[in-house]
Amino acid sequence: MTDTTRTTRTPRAHRLGHLSVLVSGAGVAGPALALNLARHGARVTVVEKAPALREGGFAVDFRGHVHRTVLTSMGLWEEIHAHRTRMGRQTVVDADGTPRLDLPAQLMSGDVEITRGDLARIMYERTKDSAEYVFGDSVATLTEVPEGVDVTFEHGAPRRFDLVVGADGLHSHTRRLVFGDESRFLRFLGHYVAGFTVPNHLGLHGTGRLYSEPGRCVALSNCDGDPDLAGALLVFRSEPLSYDRRDVAAQKRMLAERFAGMGWETPAVLDALEGAGDLYFDAIAQIHADRLAQGRVALLGDAGYGATMGGMGTGVAIVGAHVLAGELALAGGDHRVAFARYERRIGGFARGCQKISGNVGPFFAPPTERRIRGRDRMYRLLASRPMAGSFKRLTEKAATAIKLPDYPA
């Protein structure tokens, strides 16, 4: 029997077998787009600068029905649940480790939380046979011609693609090549963040500790993965710094200087930093771009609307990939129509999520002792049962403020 309800309500998707798409960046947004586009038959190549998949990073979370709908349609919801962290409460402590307040899991970890590395690996595994992955290379030049985009690479041979999508993160190379210098788009929020793995010398198990001094914060957590390891998170308040993003040794020296003399477990964390092989260090910053597309090139994820920690950057990237692929499928690959609709749908949604993350630096590292006390008072209140519900609703409001069309699977 024919299901007439479905055929009248669901917009028609076109197969995209004729469409070749180059995605720059195999972080979260790139593989998410590859997964969505492959379902519509597009030929996708993902080029990643790093020599292999970058599996570092802390836990990322998903909240509300929009994230759930998108992850379900991508066939990821169950697997994310299977690999979820079992993070419990996180405790704000004094210099001697005395608990000051508990931040409940509900406040910090959303509906489901997974480490960034697990998420990246799951999406890569799902797409490595349907998309071509090229590691250890990067786009060198992009030239738009009437039939497509001519791309040269730092190492590989030149190729032509119908479309190019920059999913290469906060410091997007694609954005620089096509849209202009980073200084036009990056809004620095006055703090830096570092994350790396350390020995779990506190014996944490599915829980975390957070210690702040004026302008600095050290947090340790174990999300119930390897019991011998913990994630260290360092946040500090600073004027904009000029440093070489490829010089990890210099970043370690800078962190050691910034955190010298700090109490609690900081000396042990700095000892572990010396040997850490997975340091993630970046500014706490957002990307504000007026346009997400120019000609045959579009921006996705952090490259187009990076929100930094607490801004649900991963959730927004996943929703962005779903919308971009869905619009391309509905428009039969016509990028002029699809990119314009993508920009309209995702722009306001991403800005709403960015607003939530505006205070993440001062939350971790308030500038004065008085402000640290003030933060603790406020979060004690927020963590109380009636307020926790409103806090959850507030973050979910931003995470669900988009009406998704019924893109056909």
Ligand X SMILES: Cc1cc2nc3c(=O)[nH]c(=O)nc-3n(C[C@H](O)[C@H](O)[C@H](O)COP(=O)(O)OP(=O)(O)OC[C@H]3O[C@@H](n4cnc5c(N)ncnc54)[C@H](O)[C@@H]3O)c2cc1C
Where does this chain bind ligand X (CB under 6 A)? 24-30, 47-50, 54, 56-58, 116, 138, 167-169, 173, 195, 280, 301-303, 309, 313-314, 317
Nearer to ligand X by C-beta: 116 or 126?
Answer: 116
| Cβ-contact 340, 293 below 8 angstroms | yes
CA distance linking residue 59 with residue 216, whole number of Å: 21
Nearer to ligand X by C-beta: 127 or 330?
Answer: 127
Query: Mind giving me the DSSP string for 325-388?
Result: HHHHHHTTT-HHHHHHHHHHHHHHHHHHHHHHHTTHHHHHS-SSHHHHHHHHHHHHHHHSHHHH
Least distance (Å) between residue 394 CB and ligand X: 19
- What is the four-CA torsion angle of 64, 67, 69, 72, rounded to 10 degrees? -120
Q: The tokens of 111 are what?
A: 């509906």
- What is the four-CA torsion angle of 148, 302, 193, 180, rounded to 10 degrees? 50
Nearer to ligand X by C-beta: 212 or 308?
Answer: 308
CA distance linking residue 123 with residue 322, whole number of Å: 13
Least distance (Å) between residue 283 CB and ligand X: 12
Closest CA to 130 of 190, 197, 42: 42
Nearer to ligand X by C-beta: 17 or 158?
Answer: 158
DSSP label at 259?
A: T
Nearer to ligand X by C-beta: 31 or 330?
Answer: 31
Least distance (Å) between residue 254 CB and ligand X: 18
Least distance (Å) between residue 195 CB and ligand X: 4
- What is the four-CA torsion angle of 98, 102, 108, 109, rounded to 10 degrees? 100
Least distance (Å) between residue 187 CB and ligand X: 15
Least distance (Å) between residue 208 CB and ligand X: 13
Using CB positions, name the residue nearest to ligand X: 27
Nearer to ligand X by C-beta: 27 or 208?
Answer: 27
